[in-house]
Chains A and B, each alone.
Chain A
Amino acid sequence: MEDTKNSLIIALQHHDIFDLESPNADTEVLPKGIAFSFIKAVHAVNQRLVSHNSSESLGFEVILIANECSEESKVKIVENVKHYGMEICKFYFCKKDEVIKTLQSNNVKLFLSTDSDEIYKALHADVPAAVLYDQTGVLDQLKVTFSGDIIGLPEDSLDSLADLGFSEAQIKTFKSAKICMKEFAGLIGEMRRRFGHENSPLCTCLITVWGSRNICLSALKTLGGWGLDVDEAFCMAGAPCSPILALVKPHILWDGGLHNLRDVPNFEL
């Protein structure tokens, strides 16, 4: 690949790339997993970036992490990646408890997972992590969604969430997520600016689940300050967000675990 100075390194796990739960997982060719659509979309963005500017240094790099694999599985994974023509730059085979270390030592800008516990652990170790959203990938556009609640709340308000019933650990996750989101948002923003408003292979979105409109406003302005002007914005003010997410169909959902929480009251600035 070209100069990797400005690479947005994204880490995925093999069980999200391939569907190992499927009854067909015994065959030579592994069935596709949830991350397929994401990888395709990332590839499309990279291609467009290069087509606009052949010496483009900004781009995505996808690395694969597999833990607890037999030698046989390792070979199978590498072969399948080749078979599907996926642009995966590096493979890391490690033990389960080494995943975080592997992420940290490789300057990973984003670790995507479908497992909220893993995301939680990663954020606590200050590794940027977000939800790889389960979608049937109708879009060719890469869609990245940010949490308006986490971005829109100022630092001291995040602390006061304790009064609303959030635990210390949860609040630490939010703070960590916010710091991680900043760097990622800046890079995505730069990438987004390479394309126009129409026909872009990359689309960014802000979803505010609990906060009021002023939290959403604060999030829009903060993101703008970080270098990202989002394309779409949704403010739910407590309404269920699943129906909206089903329409937005993001690949990446940065929310620090908020959308999984139950029974949280509304809050506003």
Chain B
Amino acid sequence: MSLDPIQVMKGPDPIPNTCPSASNGESKASWEDSKDIHENTKKPKTGPVRRARKVEGGIFFPKPENAVTIAVSSRVLFLTETEQKVFEQKGVEEYLRYQVEHENEPFAPGPAFPFVKALETVNARLRELYPDSEELFDIVLVTYNHAHVGVRLINTINYHNLFIERFCMTGGSSPIGYLKAWHTNLYLSADAEKVQEALAEGIAAATMFMPEKEVEVSETQLRVAFDGDAVLFSDESERIFKAHGLDKFFEHERENENTLLDHGPLKGFLEVLGKLQKKFYAKGHRLDCPIRTYLVTARSAASSGIRALKTLRAWGLEIDEALFLAGAPKGPMLEKIRPHIFFDDQMFHVEGAREMGAFAAHVPYGIAQKYPHKKSTNAGK
């Protein structure tokens, strides 16, 4: 059992591709397939037919079901700690008064800000290559703030020159129904309860945290890192590990090496990222693709990692870099990768990532929420 992290680069090897490849202006069918995580979501038969058309400047707004819709809450897009304190200490009336008083002061960027900026960069490249396609990132601000805060939020969006034209300010009601109406592929919020509700509805979701150190992330390439178990994959192996320990875990993984792992809450998101990546590859941009994905897992390459790789391959998902840490802390690796977002189901890893300056997001899914990792155990998987 090696304790050194082993890096496995997935080069451009031919991998059996079970997903229909999405190339230029592809049929809508491929996008519907990718939403398998939304088993209950049916495309609503809306009355009036509306086609998004081009406006001057070539920027138009895609239909939500065709785009990769990212819903962000105001508390992760911007830093609203002061206002949050006012709300908690003095109640909603005082909070709203404070917001209105400060409505011409833009908020500072929050943890999801660089991620959103990176999405815009990818969109710009996609528009260059596929000017008529609606297969873009679409960012929707979904907040249960009252619309009184709307003026300040829009002022802030204008100030930072963000390309966000769609929003939902639900004035206190649950945003979950709206997430479905927007065909949300990923929901980022500061509220763990809302995120859990979203996950229960089959929508990929996570809470995001500011890194404790200032760090620069790429402005030309979107980098998304995923933990394996209970994020991309189900938490079945995690459960075995927690219940029966490391040896049983290894045994189980060995016995089931050729059985695919079940999918986890973020598998769908990785899938849509992959489809966008293929659009770049189709136009010869594999080497300078502005989207790069990473698997950062405590599994070990020599043993339990094999099952993970086989599962990914069977799903037809390519991940650019797979890092098998065999139990080593994830922080240093993330510091090197500098992802715009790193998804993990365990707060322990999220905290570790934050300490090293990474933008980490917690996916409150699976067994780890009931039995959090204790800092003393540092066994490899």
A residues with a Cβ closer than 8 A to B are 196-198, 203, 205-206, 212-214, 216-217, 220-221, 224, 229-240, 242-244, 246-247, 259-268
Contact = CB atoms under 8 A, between A and B. Distances in A.
SS of B interface (majority): loop
A211 to B, nearest CB: 9
A138 to B, nearest CB: 12
A92 B150 CA distance: 42
A197 B61 contact: no
Interface stretch (B162-170, B200-208, B347-355): B162-170
Interface stretch (B51-59, B77-85, B108-116, B325-333): B51-59
Contacts of B182: 239, 243
Top 3 closest pairs, chain A to chain B, by CB: A233-B147, A243-B181, A231-B171
A197 B51 contact: no
B158 interface: yes
Contact of B151 (A221, A234, A259, A267): A221
A232 B305 CA distance: 48
B92 A197 contact: yes
Contacts of B146: 197, 231-232
Interface residues of B, number: 41
Nearest to A218: B154
B52 A266 contact: yes
Interface stretch (B41-49, B190-198, B272-280): B41-49
Contacts of A265: 53-55
Contacts of A196: 93
A220 B147 contact: yes
25 contacts: A197-B96, A203-B171, A206-B147, A213-B167, A214-B154, A214-B158, A217-B150, A220-B147, A220-B154, A229-B147, A229-B148, A230-B147, A231-B171, A231-B172, A233-B150, A238-B50, A240-B63, A247-B178, A247-B181, A260-B48, A263-B51, A265-B53, A265-B54, A266-B53, A266-B61
Nearest to A223: B147
Interface of B: 44, 46-55, 60-61, 63-64, 92-93, 96, 146-148, 150-151, 154-155, 157-158, 164-173, 177-178, 181-182
Contacts of A198: 92, 172
Contacts of A262: 48-50
A237 B46 CA distance: 16
B49 A239 contact: no
A237 B165 contact: yes
Nearest to B181: A243
A72 to B, nearest CB: 37
A87 to B, nearest CB: 27
Given A234-B168, A235-B165, A242-B47, A213 B63 contact: no
Nearest to B45: A242
Contact of A244 (B171, B173, B181): B181
Contacts of B166: 235-237, 239
Contacts of B93: 196-197
A203 B46 CA distance: 25
Contacts, number: 116
B68 to A, nearest CB: 14
Contacts of A233: 147, 150, 167, 169, 171
B49 A263 contact: yes
Nearest to B100: A229
A242 B46 contact: yes
A124 to B, nearest CB: 22
B175 to A, nearest CB: 10
Contacts of A243: 44, 46, 181-182
A231 B60 contact: no
Contacts of B158: 213-214, 217
Given A229-B148, A231-B146, A242-B48, 6 more contacts: A198-B172, A216-B154, A239-B61, A260-B47, A266-B55, A266-B60
Nearest to A242: B46
Contacts of A234: 167-169
A240 B50 contact: yes
Nearest to A217: B154
Contacts of B61: 237-239, 266
Nearest to B175: A247
Contacts of B148: 229
A232 B44 contact: no
B165 A232 contact: no
Contacts of A232: 146-147, 169-171, 173
B63 A239 contact: yes
B72 to A, nearest CB: 14
Contacts of B49: 262-263
Nearest to A267: B55
Contacts of B52: 238, 266
A257 B46 CA distance: 16
Contacts of A235: 165-167
Contacts of A216: 150, 154, 167
A259 B48 CA distance: 8
A238 B66 CA distance: 13
Contacts of A231: 146-147, 171-172
B151 A213 contact: no
Q: A232, A246, A261: which has the most chain B beta carbons within 10 Å?
A: A232
Q: A229, A234, A240: which has the most chain B beta carbons within 10 Å?
A: A240
A195 B47 CA distance: 36
Given A242-B46, A247-B178, A263-B50, A213 B168 contact: no
A262 B147 CA distance: 28
A111 B49 CA distance: 28
